[in-house]
Amino acid sequence: MTPEEKLKTLGIDLPDIPKPLGTYVPLVRTGSLVYLSGMLPLKDGQLLKTGRVGESVSPEDGALCARAATINALAVLRFALGSLDRVVKCVKISGFVSSATDFTQQPMVINGAVDLLFDIFGEAGRHARSAVGVNILPLNSPVEVEFIFEISEDVSL
Protein backbone atom coordinates (compact mmCIF):
# COMPACT_ATOMS: atom_id res chain seq x y z
CA MET A 1 0.00 0.00 0.00
CA THR A 2 1.15 3.54 -0.69
CA PRO A 3 1.47 6.06 2.14
CA GLU A 4 -1.65 7.88 0.90
CA GLU A 5 -3.59 4.59 0.94
CA LYS A 6 -2.24 3.85 4.43
CA LEU A 7 -3.57 7.20 5.70
CA LYS A 8 -7.04 6.27 4.46
CA THR A 9 -6.82 2.79 5.99
CA LEU A 10 -5.79 4.33 9.33
CA GLY A 11 -8.66 6.83 9.11
CA ILE A 12 -6.33 9.83 9.24
CA ASP A 13 -7.47 13.03 7.56
CA LEU A 14 -4.58 15.44 7.39
CA PRO A 15 -5.51 18.91 8.66
CA ASP A 16 -4.83 22.26 7.08
CA ILE A 17 -1.19 23.12 7.63
CA PRO A 18 -0.54 24.89 10.91
CA LYS A 19 0.51 28.52 10.69
CA PRO A 20 4.09 29.20 11.83
CA LEU A 21 4.23 30.69 15.33
CA GLY A 22 7.25 32.85 14.49
CA THR A 23 9.44 34.13 11.70
CA TYR A 24 10.38 30.91 9.93
CA VAL A 25 9.21 28.64 7.14
CA PRO A 26 7.66 25.24 7.83
CA LEU A 27 10.10 23.37 5.58
CA VAL A 28 13.27 23.77 3.58
CA ARG A 29 14.55 21.53 0.81
CA THR A 30 18.18 20.93 0.00
CA GLY A 31 18.85 18.33 -2.67
CA SER A 32 16.63 15.34 -1.96
CA LEU A 33 16.22 16.19 1.72
CA VAL A 34 13.33 18.14 3.25
CA TYR A 35 13.79 19.57 6.75
CA LEU A 36 10.58 20.32 8.64
CA SER A 37 10.51 22.89 11.40
CA GLY A 38 9.49 21.74 14.86
CA MET A 39 5.85 20.67 14.97
CA LEU A 40 3.57 21.04 17.97
CA PRO A 41 0.48 18.95 18.80
CA LEU A 42 -1.98 21.56 17.52
CA LYS A 43 -5.52 20.76 16.47
CA ASP A 44 -7.72 23.58 15.18
CA GLY A 45 -5.07 26.04 16.34
CA GLN A 46 -5.06 24.79 19.95
CA LEU A 47 -2.64 22.52 21.79
CA LEU A 48 -4.10 19.11 22.66
CA LYS A 49 -2.45 19.32 26.09
CA THR A 50 -0.25 21.76 27.94
CA GLY A 51 2.33 21.20 30.64
CA ARG A 52 5.18 18.87 31.41
CA VAL A 53 5.12 15.13 30.89
CA GLY A 54 5.42 13.43 34.24
CA GLU A 55 3.62 16.32 35.99
CA SER A 56 0.33 17.48 34.44
CA VAL A 57 0.63 15.32 31.29
CA SER A 58 0.81 11.52 31.40
CA PRO A 59 3.36 9.67 29.26
CA GLU A 60 0.46 8.18 27.28
CA ASP A 61 -0.98 11.64 26.56
CA GLY A 62 2.53 12.79 25.67
CA ALA A 63 2.73 9.99 23.09
CA LEU A 64 -0.64 11.07 21.66
CA CYS A 65 0.74 14.60 21.41
CA ALA A 66 3.82 13.32 19.54
CA ARG A 67 1.46 11.51 17.16
CA ALA A 68 -0.56 14.72 16.63
CA ALA A 69 2.64 16.69 15.93
CA THR A 70 3.53 14.05 13.32
CA ILE A 71 0.12 14.39 11.67
CA ASN A 72 0.76 18.14 11.39
CA ALA A 73 4.18 17.45 9.88
CA LEU A 74 2.65 15.12 7.32
CA ALA A 75 0.11 17.80 6.42
CA VAL A 76 2.95 20.25 5.73
CA LEU A 77 4.84 17.62 3.75
CA ARG A 78 1.81 16.69 1.63
CA PHE A 79 1.04 20.37 0.99
CA ALA A 80 4.59 20.89 -0.30
CA LEU A 81 4.89 17.64 -2.27
CA GLY A 82 1.32 17.14 -3.45
CA SER A 83 1.39 13.56 -2.16
CA LEU A 84 3.11 11.58 0.57
CA ASP A 85 3.79 8.94 -2.07
CA ARG A 86 6.78 11.10 -3.10
CA VAL A 87 8.52 10.40 0.20
CA VAL A 88 11.45 8.01 -0.24
CA LYS A 89 12.36 7.71 3.45
CA CYS A 90 12.08 9.33 6.83
CA VAL A 91 15.72 10.00 7.67
CA LYS A 92 15.59 11.44 11.21
CA ILE A 93 13.31 12.84 13.84
CA SER A 94 14.28 14.92 16.84
CA GLY A 95 11.75 14.81 19.65
CA PHE A 96 11.69 17.27 22.51
CA VAL A 97 9.64 16.43 25.59
CA SER A 98 8.84 19.07 28.21
CA SER A 99 9.64 16.91 31.21
CA ALA A 100 9.21 16.85 34.96
CA THR A 101 12.57 16.94 36.74
CA ASP A 102 12.61 13.19 37.39
CA PHE A 103 10.88 12.04 34.16
CA THR A 104 13.05 9.69 32.08
CA GLN A 105 10.63 8.08 29.58
CA GLN A 106 11.17 10.53 26.72
CA PRO A 107 11.76 7.67 24.22
CA MET A 108 8.34 6.19 25.05
CA VAL A 109 6.68 9.57 24.46
CA ILE A 110 8.39 10.06 21.09
CA ASN A 111 7.33 6.55 20.09
CA GLY A 112 3.95 8.18 19.42
CA ALA A 113 5.60 9.76 16.38
CA VAL A 114 7.83 6.80 15.53
CA ASP A 115 5.01 4.25 15.48
CA LEU A 116 2.83 6.40 13.22
CA LEU A 117 5.65 6.90 10.71
CA PHE A 118 6.21 3.14 10.56
CA ASP A 119 2.46 2.51 10.17
CA ILE A 120 2.30 4.88 7.20
CA PHE A 121 5.65 4.35 5.46
CA GLY A 122 6.61 0.83 6.55
CA GLU A 123 10.36 0.24 6.42
CA ALA A 124 10.82 3.65 4.76
CA GLY A 125 9.49 5.10 8.03
CA ARG A 126 12.37 3.71 10.08
CA HIS A 127 14.81 6.47 10.95
CA ALA A 128 17.49 7.75 13.27
CA ARG A 129 16.14 9.76 16.19
CA SER A 130 16.71 11.74 19.32
CA ALA A 131 14.34 11.94 22.30
CA VAL A 132 15.38 14.76 24.61
CA GLY A 133 13.88 16.06 27.83
CA VAL A 134 13.64 19.85 28.10
CA ASN A 135 12.41 22.30 30.71
CA ILE A 136 9.79 24.14 28.64
CA LEU A 137 8.55 24.32 25.04
CA PRO A 138 6.69 27.00 23.07
CA LEU A 139 3.13 27.68 24.31
CA ASN A 140 3.79 25.25 27.19
CA SER A 141 3.50 22.34 24.75
CA PRO A 142 4.40 18.91 26.11
CA VAL A 143 6.23 17.92 22.89
CA GLU A 144 7.82 19.34 19.77
CA VAL A 145 9.09 17.14 16.93
CA GLU A 146 11.40 17.96 13.99
CA PHE A 147 11.67 15.81 10.87
CA ILE A 148 14.03 15.14 7.97
CA PHE A 149 12.62 13.29 4.95
CA GLU A 150 14.23 12.13 1.73
CA ILE A 151 11.99 12.82 -1.26
CA SER A 152 11.95 11.84 -4.93
CA GLU A 153 14.37 13.88 -7.02
CA ASP A 154 11.62 14.73 -9.55
CA VAL A 155 9.66 16.78 -6.99
CA SER A 156 9.92 20.54 -7.33
CA LEU A 157 9.14 22.79 -4.38
Distance from C-alpha of 109 to C-alpha of 153, rounded to nearest angstrom: 33
pLDDT for 156: 65
Distance CA 12, CA 71 (A): 8
pLDDT at 22: 82
Calculate mean pLDDT across residues 11-36. Answer: 90
The predicted pLDDT at position 157 comes to 59
Please check the confidence at residue 78 and state whether its pLDDT lies above 70: yes
> Which residues on adjacent β-strands are paired with residue 94?
130, 146
Do the beta carbons of residue 140 and residue 98 sit within 8 Å? yes
**Cβ-contact 73, 110 below 8 angstroms:** no
Q: How far apart are CA 17 and CA 2, in angstroms?
A: 21
pLDDT at 152: 87
pLDDT one-digit tens code per residue, 130-156 = 999 999 999 999 999 999 999 987 766
Overall size of the chain counted in residues: 157
- AA letter at 65: C
Q: What is the pLDDT of residues 93-124, one digit of tens each?
A: 999 999 999 999 999 999 999 999 999 999 99
Residue 62 identity (one-letter amino acid): G
* Alpha-carbon span 12 to 137, nearest angstrom: 26
Q: What's the average model confidence in pLDDT over 70-88? A: 96
Q: Is 91 a residue whose pLDDT tops 80?
A: yes
Position 153 scores a pLDDT of 73
Backbone angles phi, psi at 88, to 5 degrees: -85, -45
Q: What is the distance between the terminal CA atoms of the chain, rounded to a whole angstrom?
A: 25
Q: Which residues contact 94 (CB under 8 A, 6 or more apart)?
A: 129, 130, 132, 145, 146
> CA-based angle 93:97:98, to the nearest 5?
150
